[in-house]
Amino acid sequence: MNIDLTGKIALITGATGELGRVMARTLARCGADVAVHYHRNSPKAQELVDEIRTLGRSALPVQADITDFESVMAMKEEIGRSLGDPDIIIHNAVIQYPWKSILDQEIGDYESQFRSSVMQSVLLAKAFIPAMIQGGAGRFIGINTECSLQCAPTQSAYVAGKRGMDGVLRVLAREIGEHGITVNQIAPGWTVSERERVQGLGADNDAYIKNVPLKRRGTDRDIANLAAFLASDLAGFISGAIIPVCGGNVMPAI
């Protein structure tokens, strides 16, 4: 059984990030053409596009502020002209900020997480779902976090944004399911990425992995593999799910 995304067009927001670039490569290897979204890192976006093209797939670097509707709509038009309407949307971009206790966290950090988690979901849906409805199929995949289920100290702004995102995407799954469109979320744990490999950092952290049943940290490839599966026809009857990829560190209850 193979994951075959031949003929599909994917948009990955935050594609130049640690998880985004691996998802972009993985979907391209499965046969998808890829719109590589970036905010500021144009060189990394072009490098990734060039790499995808060597795999025989079409790729496009596309800049946008995913918290601004006009910018998102301009991105939609650019992708449509160059690649076509995306069949697969992966909502991966998020604004980074220093984590602090609620009493010390800047108010603006809560606002930034709302914009990059909740409003990105809304804006991407408004921009790209209508074409999916017209086509009678589509995949909308949000990258959430195990933190949403942990609610640990200093996570408040991040958790607030991602829990809000979860609510929006669950409602979206109900609203557009009749059109053959699935909406799902991936919740990574603390993930080993290219940055750590390049810097030669260890993948283990005793304080973290002691609570992980599989006794290791996940990798960016683990996340990308699930993204490819959810994007494929193999996952055609899965919708409204949030799936942790964290070795059992968190286990959602029924």
What is d(CA 129, CA 109) in angstroms, rounded to the nearest whole number? 28
The rounded Cα 96 to chain-centroid distance in angstroms is: 15
Q: Name the residue among 157, 153, 160, 168 with its Cα closest to residue 123.
A: 168
Annotated catalytic residue within 38, 97, 158, 208: 158
Q: Is 97 a catalytic residue?
A: no
H-state helical runs in 142-183: 147-150, 156-176
CA distances for 174 relative to 22, 147, 240, angstroms:
29, 24, 8
Token pair for 21: 């670039």
What are all long-range contacts of 234-238, with beta carbons under 8 Å and residues at least 24 apart?
A: 234/1, 234/3, 235/139, 235/182, 235/184, 236/182, 238/182, 238/184
Structure tokens at 125: 């849906």
Active site residues: 158
